[in-house]
């Protein structure tokens, strides 16, 4: 079993739709949860960052973490064609500050159709 | 602020040849990471440097991969000899400190081994 599971998609939605992206994980030691966006032939860029359980909102993006279920989500409201990209979830245990090794999901390819 | 720079952007080699990638992190960033991203997968950490010391190289195939970060700034990642399964995008990232600091990724080097 992989430490982090993510549906690879592809996911195709019409412009303006609400998008839900999800990851599950098996290691309960993960405490830091991130969503990265990766455009084609570019490096990943950090979109959202959450520590432990709870919700975090930034504009059209909302990240949710449910540690009891080992489940994280990213919601995109009023999706735009410019949101078309691969979305990667990532997690870290932060080994006592010595390293912040990120464990990534496989990524979900999202296409927002105009 | 300039981002993480990587070169070359693309490289095609025959198996058993050697190849080297270069990374220049964001100015002042003490921590540097090399990731391998195989098509359809999330990035996997190969090695992490704190200044010019290695923090984590547990997933680096040391029989063929080597990396160095002289003077705690630029870094090079070398593969010798290359195998077909090394075909991937090699991403360099940097962060200001270890711990939970945001990692900023470069555009990557796309390696094809024939």
- The answer to whether the Cβ–Cβ distance between B42 and A8 falls below 8 Å is no
| Contact by Cβ (8 Å): B29, B15 | no
Name the band, by pLDDT with cuts 50, 70 and 90, for residue A99.
low
Widest pairwise Cα distance in chain B:
39
Nearest Cα residue in chain B from A4: B42
| Contact by Cβ (8 Å): A22, A88 | no
Q: Is the pLDDT at B7 greater than 60, yes or no?
A: yes
Interface test with A, best of B2, B42, B57, B92 (most A CBs within 10 A): B42
pLDDT tens digits, one per residue of A53-77? 889 999 999 999 999 999 999 999 9
DSSP character for B70?
G
Average pLDDT over residues B9-29: 96
So what's the pLDDT on residue A7? 85
pLDDT tens digits, one per residue of A13-45? 999 999 999 999 999 989 889 999 999 989 999
């Amino acid at each position: 079993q992989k430490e982090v599971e993510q549906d690879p998609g592809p996911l195709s939605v019409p412009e303006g739709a609400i998008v839900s992206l999800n990851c599950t994980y098996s290691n309960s030691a993960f405490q830091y949860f991130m969503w990265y966006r990766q455009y084609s032939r570019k490096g990943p860029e950090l979109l959202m960052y959450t520590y432990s359980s709870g919700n975090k909102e930034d504009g059209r993006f909302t990240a949710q973490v449910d540690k009891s279920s080992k489940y994280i989500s990213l919601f995109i409201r009023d999706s735009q064609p410019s949101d078309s990209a691969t979305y990667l979830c990532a997690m870290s245990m932060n080994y006592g500050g010595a390293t912040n090794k990120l464990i990534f999901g496989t990524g979900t390819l999202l296409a927002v159709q105009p | 602020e300039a981002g993480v720079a990587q070169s070359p952007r693309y490289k095609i080699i025959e198996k058993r040849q050697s190849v080297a990638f270069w990374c220049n992190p964001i100015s002042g960033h003490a921590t540097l990471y090399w990731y391998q991203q195989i098509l359809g997968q999330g990035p996997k950490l190969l090695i992490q440097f704190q200044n010019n010391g290695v923090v984590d190289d547990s997933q680096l195939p040391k029989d063929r991969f080597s990396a160095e970060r002289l003077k705690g700034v630029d870094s090079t990642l070398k593969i010798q000899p290359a195998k077909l399964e090394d075909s991937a995008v090699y991403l360099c990232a940097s962060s200001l400190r270890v711990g939970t600091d945001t990692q900023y990724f470069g555009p990557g080097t796309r390696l094809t081994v024939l």
